[in-house]
Structure 1
Amino acid sequence: MKRFAHFITWFVFLVCSSQIMANEQGDDSRLISISLITESGNPSAGSTQDLAIIMTPKKGWHGYWINPGDAGFPNNLNWQLPDGVSVGEVQYPAPSQLVVSDIMNYIYHGEYALLAPITIDKGIAAGTSLTIRLGMSYLVCDPSSCLPEQQTIEKTFTVGEGGLDQGLQNQFNQWRQKLPKPMDAKGQFAIDHGVFKLSLPLPSSMAADDAHVYPIINNTIVNNAKQIFRHEGDVLSMQTPSGEALGDLFEGVLVLDKGISLHFSATKTDSAGLSVAMAGTTNAINQSSWMIGITAFFGAILGGLLLNIMPCVFPILSLKILSLSHQGSEKNARMGAVAYTLGAVLVCVLLGGVILGLRALGHQVGWAFQLQSPAVIAALIVLMSAIGFNLAGLFEIGTLTSGSRLQDQKGPMGDFWTGVLAAFIATPCTGPFMATALGAALILPIGVAFVIFAGLGFGMALPFLLVGFVPSLRTRLPKPGGWMVTARRILSLPMFITVLGLVWILMRQSNNDYVLSILMVTMLSTFGLWLTGLWQHSQHKGKWWPTIILTLVPLFVVLNWVSDTPAPSNKNEQTETVAFNQETLNALRAKQDVFLYFTADWCLTCKVNEKTSIDRQEVKDALKQQSVVTMVGDWTNGDSQMTAFLSEHGRSGVPLYLWYKKGVDQPRVLPQILSPSTLIDQAKN
């Protein structure tokens, strides 16, 4: 009777207020203005991209979520689409609560955006003008009145090359960030004497002090009742009075602190089974976390060890190891090895801490996130150029290499900073052993995660550490001599190759003016280093102020005053591939096999696999013959939706190669080192 009285009250209130508002306002006065925006102004045929329905209420008014709560009604959308265009399910951001006279409403304060994937068929010719119409009826309210409105919105665009505006893409990424992220594992719920009990897997590292569950279907729980939460170990439990519309599946959105929201589903069980499952899950997770962590720790060590063969790390590591061959004492050799190890471990732990902190704040970031920033790439270009010219003999600096004084004894501080630098520049990619380890670190308890990140740094420093602590290894190293100067000159070549690779990445991430400005800074820096080298050879004492002035001042000006926004892409979309989109993936894998891979321009492993395997003509022919769709996720500039997808599959970075068989939910994870035969055999099976 109480719910019926609430309904009658709101119904009468709604009708009266609607009549009053209709008399007071003209037909053209809208309390919510609606507009449609596509992620690209000229989307390409065969592509899928998000369409944003931007809802902007007038000040003091609000719109409603997919489940409006105890009062109101949900949005009604009626699409009118041209031939060859389809729209997927509309996605809603997480809502807020509004309680009026004990009536709970799920609403949005201020402007909000609903996102829907729009797909354009391959057969539509470039230059075709398409118009999308959306008829929408909805409810808009303020604290004292409500008004149902309806309007029709149009969006016309021309099929073209699919170029993206960076500013618009950033705006879409912000809207996607507000969408609830899918929870990988299902929860369980039970009804015990009118009490709804819910159990969800949630890592203990995620704060749940201000948690709230929003049901997708109304009347499954009592909306205005208090929700009691308890977070023990990696299990979050909730109790609240049950509703009348509960079935065997409960779907909802869990909103946590700092804007984090998770979409989940829970299956029904009995109360006793739920208690056993909760206890068993907690104990199993607590017992297995450290076992998984230990396995991931050794995987991180092996992955870090393999990072030493990267062209930007190998020259530094080689010269540091050779410098140990003439250490004056065991103590000095061991101190240098420990200092190098501490530097490498410290950087990996700090990067891991930053990632965990940003993810706790709701940001979807993964390993090597720093290389998604053009400013970081620009700074690395200048730094790696300086290291290359140092190895080539233009000037001397003992912090990174021993220069012509390689036989001289060096202190541990230089070894420490060498470890710091090596660890920072060796993180563009995840490789074998390392990918799974870092993915596990992001879902395990914080203490275990930091141990795994430390293992990565330890693996990087392991060769230097072994040479420092095992005298017999040092005796096998070549004796110092003039040949070492020649070796150092040769080792400068990989550093310059690394610089070229970084310039190429920067060209993909930013515009020509920004790249040209960074090259100018690099040339000025080189001129300053040349002057430093002249003073070092003539006066035996380097003067660094020309280098500092010619490097830091122009670099500061460029980073602060030159825009790094990339120019719109003019290149044609590849007809053989489809850009990653979750809705498109779900639709495609129900009809045919899908090969999905995630890549980035700064990922060396990714580029090698693409050159040697994925882009081979025989591989393309085999995939085409078997009607396999190739879908690509480009993570070069970062993307929250891709980062969330990577996390769901236990990865924190690229590459990731997945093969979806037609009609099969779970994909097969392919090796991180591909070969043409791997893909061809997979297509034929």
Structure 2
Amino acid sequence: MKTRRYRLSVTVLWQMLALLLLPLVAHAQSGATPHIAAELVAAPATPGGEATVAIHMTPEKGWHGYWSNPGDAGLGMQLDWTLPTGAKAGTPKYPVPQTLVVSGLMNHVFEHDYAVLVPIALPADAKPGSRLPIRVAAQWLACTEQICVPEQADLAVEIPVVAKAAAPDARFAEWTRRLPAPLDASGTFSLDAKALRLAIPLPATTPLASPHLFIGEDKLVDYAANQSFAWNGDKLIVTIPRAKLDARDASTLTGVLRLDNEGNGIAFSAKPGTVPAGVTPLATDVAPTSALASLPLLLLAALAGGLLLNVMPCVFPILSLKALSLARAGESEAHARIEGLAYTAGVVVACLGLGGALLALRAGGEEVGWAFQLQEPLVVVALLLLAAAITANLLGLFELTVPGFVSGGSPSSFTRGAFITGLLAAFVATPCTGPFMASAMGAALLLPVLPAMALFATLGIGIALPFLAIAFIPPLRRRMPRPGAWMVTFRRWLAVPMGLTALALAWLTWKVGGPWFAGSAILGLALVLAALFVMGRTQRKGGSARPAAAIALAIAVFALVVLPQPVAPVAAADSLLGAKPFSEKALADALAAGKPVFVWMTADWCLSCKVNEEVAIERAETKAAFDKAGVVVLRGDWTRRDTDITRYLTAQGAAGVPLYVWYGRNGKSTQLPQVLTPSLLVSTASQ
């Protein structure tokens, strides 16, 4: 069955959003002070000469504007000139931009005051001593790392016409100095499916303290990817991976080479041609993110998050799978250690597998996040079949020593069972990101592959740590109850939480796939249980259970193959808070209106989300506080994959749900804890 795939470029979505909002700027910002102040300044010019006008931009602290090619997100400045007859505006010239990486998205920005210089060709009949009025309707995007606001201004100035050219004043001299120096020779470039290679004629003695290449053409390269620099004589060879989505071709190439972090750079152009191999690599090739610097702290956070995950609500059903294995671990020291290592290996392998799949999907352009496995209806059905089979096993309907939570069997079967139990525990438990794990998993999406995989492995070690400690620390193991007849009764009681888990998965199957999908899955489940019943009866008579087991497995696979196409997710129930569906436009509209906003990201498969909703969100006290403060509540349902929600989570540095973000009336955002207390939202709304 084909599952729906999302291959929309983040760049396109950002730009479409900005373009949709630009016509609303005048209304949204009427009476409001812009976050980036704009001023139009003109230098004198002679008749028939070229005047330089500057659009001087001054961002507020924490805000930034964009270069002509904004990168992965943002929007360049839009200019609509009104000029005297015979005058003509040229191409705007920008200073050397800065790089800003937000949740893996590379932006080309200006976080300080900057001036965009535009040449204006004056008519030859302009009279010295006169002043030529010009106007420009400018539109731009002002952003912080959390929110973007489209802004505009109608700017006007008069160009003094003089008989003799004069030296520019101090301000124009400084603005001109900030422009990248034009390179007097053209470079060459080559494009293939994997990379752009560029040769820039540049003396090998040129100091390159912090080089970065800004390409003027959009959607040509992967902006956030590592850029490789090497010398070949007096040519700088630059290699940049191609754009992951919608990669385009180019007949010419323009851009800016940043030399250092002091604003120095070179403007270049290039044409298709031969690009020699790099000979001497630069030692400054680094990833465009500082996350590597804090890798030890991130590893510690992943370990703590995995450890804490053992007491999160989402892992409670899985604890029943461990209980009998923990008790049985006291049989012998060697057995306990082997089983502890096998269980840990299963958890770590599952975390590495999920993490590797996540990174591979994102590298292929998919908008996915942590817990993507539970957003797929077929995966939910497979877990439903497994949970129901485990419940039947615990009740004694049939006997099977895998996944290792029942008594009996050989040591090798216990080892296999512990490994499979670890796989299942991590697969089901990891969607609920703990308070410490959220930052680490968000950072894993920004890091190179090896450090990111180290984070996923450390998460697995954290999840398995309690079981590993019991296996290797004799005093802890001696506190475990000794194996005995009580285990048979306890095994029957463990069927209760597993049965409740199966019921919850049946409900989730309906939520993610619709009634026909869920009904077909339950019919397949009934056939599987019937085959398992026959298997158990055969076992009790002393016969071979393999034929019935093969039939049960075949029915399960067949059921997954022939399930009908899932329909759209079932709409969420009405919220006590009057929550509206989350969208980027709804958030922008609420902030433009100056209202406080509570963004609430949840999913039906996230048990910790549901606990927070019951304990702190859907409460009369919270509603009263929100109503009094005029809070706009936006709820994002991430039960099925949603591009807008995934992009918002990524922008917030979160890999999954729950996520709660509070926006004040001034638009400043604050991420709230993932574990909410009953009074937290009330006190936040009252501030």
Tell me the equivalent position of 1:183.
105
Is 267-276 or 500-509 further displaced after alignment? 267-276
Name the SS of the counterpart of 1:421 in structure 2: helix
Structure 2 CA distance for aligned equivalents of residues 626 and 225 of structure 1: 43
Q: Post-superposition shift, 1:596?
A: 0.4
Correspondence 1:506 to 2:509: yes
Partner Cα separation in structure 1 for residue 342 and residue 318 of structure 2: 17
The verdict on how the C-alpha distance between 1:280 and 1:224 changes in structure 2, with shifts beyond 3 A counting, is: closer
- Which of 490, 493, 497 matches 1:490? 493
Counterpart mapping for 1:88-107 below 5 A: none
> How many angstroms does 1:651 deviate by?
0.9
CA contact (8 A) 1:598 1:654 kept: yes
Query: 2:290 is matched by which residue type in structure 1?
Result: I
Q: Residue 522 of structure 2: which of 512, 519, 523 is its match?
A: 519
Unpaired runs of at least 5, structure 2 = 1-7, 9-13, 25-67, 69-101, 115-177, 185-192, 199-213, 231-240, 249-254, 266-282
Look up the match of 2:331. 326
User: Does 1:296 pair with 2:282?
Assistant: no
Amino acid in the other structure paired with 1:183: L
Q: Is the Cα contact below 8 Å between 2:511 and 2:570 reproduced in 1?
A: no
The aligned amino acid for 1:641 is: D
Contact 1:439 1:651 in 2 (8 A): yes
CA contact 1:208–1:257 (8 Å) conserved in 2 = no
Structure 1 SS opposite 2:528: helix
For residue 236 of structure 1, report the CA deviation from its aligned partner.
Answer: 10
| Separation (CA, whole Å) in 2 of partners of 1:481 and 1:462 | 26
Distance verdict in 2 for CA 1:633–1:232, change over 3 Å: closer
* Residue 473 (structure 1) aligns with: 476
**Residue ranges of structure 1 left out of the alignment (5+ in a row):** 1-51, 53-64, 68-74, 81-105, 107-179, 197-206, 213-220, 238-253
Higher Rg: 2
Task: Classify 1:268/1:209 alpha carbon distance in 2 versus 1 (closer, same or farther; 3 Å).
Answer: closer
Counterpart of 2:182? 194
Which residue number in structure 2 is paired with residue 608 of structure 1? 611
* Residues 633-656 of structure 1 deviation map (CA, whole Å, 9 limit, x = unaligned): 110101122111111111111000
Give the C-alpha shift of residue 533 in structure 1. Answer: 1.8
Kept after mapping to 1: 8 A contact 2:512/2:569: no
Matched, 1:209 2:198: no
Q: For residue 463 of structure 1, what is the amino acid of its counterpart?
A: P
Q: Quick check: 1:374 aligned with 2:377?
A: yes
Query: What code does the residue aligned with 2:427 have?
Result: F
In the other structure, the counterpart of 2:11 is none
For residues 472-621 of structure 1, what are the structure 2 equivalents within 5 Å? 472-539=475-542, 542-553=544-555, 555-557=557-559, 559-566=561-568, 576-590=578-592, 591-621=594-624
Q: How does 1:253-402 map onto structure 2 within 5 Å?
A: 256-259=243-246, 273-274=262-263, 285=290, 288-306=293-311, 310-327=315-332, 330-402=333-405
Aligned length: 474
Deviations 1:130-176 (A, max 9, x none): xxxxxxxxxxxxxxxxxxxxxxxxxxxxxxxxxxxxxxxxxxxxxxx
Residue identity in the other structure for 1:209 = A
What secondary structure is seen at the aligned counterpart in 2 of 1:602? Answer: coil
Asked whether the 8 Å contact 1:320–1:464 carries over to 2, the reply is no
1:648 aligns with 2:648: no
Q: What is the distance in 1 between the residues matched to 2:610 and 2:371?
A: 16
Pair 1:430 & 2:433 matched: yes
Residues in 2 aligned to 1:226 and 1:471: alpha-carbon distance in whole angstroms: 59
Secondary structure at 1:633's aligned position in 2? strand
The correspondence for 1:415, drawn from 389, 398, 418, is: 418
1:127 match: none
Work out whether 1:660 is the aligned partner of 2:663: yes
The match for 1:157 is none
- What amino acid sits opposite 2:655 in the alignment? S
Question: Shift of residue 389 of structure 1?
Answer: 1.4
Matches within 5 A, 1:155-174: none
Structure 1 distance, partners of 2:527, 2:616, is 40
User: 1:57-136 alignment to 2 at 5 Å?
Assistant: none
The verdict on how the C-alpha distance between 1:682 and 1:562 changes in structure 2, with shifts beyond 3 A counting, is: same
CA distance in 1, matches of 2:340, 2:218: 61
Alpha-carbon deviation of 1:674? 0.9
Give, in whole Å, the separation in 2 of the partners of 1:225 and 1:367: 29
Tell me by how many angstroms 1:471 deviates: 2.1
Distance (whole Å) between structure 2 residues aligned to residue 274 and residue 454 of structure 1:
40
Give the Cα separation in 2 of the matches to 1:588 and 1:267: 38
**Is the alpha carbon distance of 1:293 and 1:389 closer, same or farther for their aligned partners in structure 2, counting shifts above 3 Å?**
same
Equivalent pair of 1:609/1:673 in contact (CA under 8 Å): yes
Tell me how far apart the structure 1 counterparts of residues 577 and 219 of structure 2 sit (CA, whole Å): 53
What's the counterpart of residue 275 of structure 2? none
Report the Cα offset of residue 270 of structure 1: 9.5
| Equivalent pair of 1:603/1:654 in contact (CA under 8 Å) | yes
Q: Hey, what does 2:406 align to over in structure 1?
A: 403
Alpha-carbon contact 1:349-1:450 (below 8 Å) kept? yes
Supply the RMSD in Å over aligned alpha carbons.
4.3
Equivalent residues of 1:300, 1:453 under 8 A apart: no
Could you list the per-position Cα deviations for residues 538-588 of structure 1 after superposition, in whole angstroms to 9, with x for gaps in the alignment?
Answer: 21x551322432453365245335222248759778881111111221221
Distance 1:490 1:323 in 2: 17
Post-superposition CA distance 1:264-295 (Å, at most 9, x none): xx99999660469x979969837614344334
Q: Is the CA contact 2:104–2:224 (under 8 Å) kept in the aligned structure 1?
A: no
Change (3 A) 1:571 1:605: closer
User: Helix, strand or coil for the counterpart of 2:538?
Assistant: helix
SS of corresponding position for 1:311: helix
Residue 378 to residue 369, structure 1, CA distance change in 2 (3 Å): same
**CA 617–272 in structure 1, closer or farther in 2 if over 3 Å, else same:** closer
1:297 positional shift:
3.5
Instruction: Say which SS state the counterpart of residue 596 (structure 1) adopts.
Output: strand
Per-residue Cα deviation, 1:37-92 (whole angstroms, up to 9, x for no partner)? xxxxxxxxxxxxxxx9xxxxxxxxxxxx999xxxxxxx999999xxxxxxxxxxxx
Q: 1:84 aligns to what? A: none
Letter in 1 for 2:182: G
Partner amino acid, structure 2, of 1:394? L
Distance 2:538 2:433 in 1: 42
Partner of 1:444: 447
Output the TM-score relative to the length of structure 1. 0.61
- Return the offset for 1:604: 0.3
Q: Structure 1 residue 321: deviation in Å?
A: 0.9
Aligned-residue offset at 1:608: 0.8
Where 2:329 maps in the other structure, the secondary structure is helix
Question: Contact 2:443/2:653 (CA < 8 Å) preserved in 1?
Answer: yes
Rounded to whole Å, the distance in 1 between the matches of 2:471 and 2:616 is 40
How many Å separate the matches in 2 of 1:663 and 1:359? 33
Check whether the contact 1:395–1:532 (CA below 8 A) recurs between aligned residues: yes
The one-letter code of the counterpart of 2:302 is F
Could you tell me whether the CA contact under 8 Å between 1:348 and 1:453 is conserved in 2? yes
SS at match of 2:675: coil
Given that residues 440 and 455 in structure 2 are in contact (C-alpha distance below 8 angstroms), is that contact kept between their aligned partners in structure 1? yes
Q: Which amino acid aligns with 2:578?
A: E
Q: Which amino acid aligns with 1:484?
A: M
Paired residue type of 2:435: P
Cα gap change, 1:506/1:284 in structure 2, threshold over 3 Å: closer, same or farther?
closer
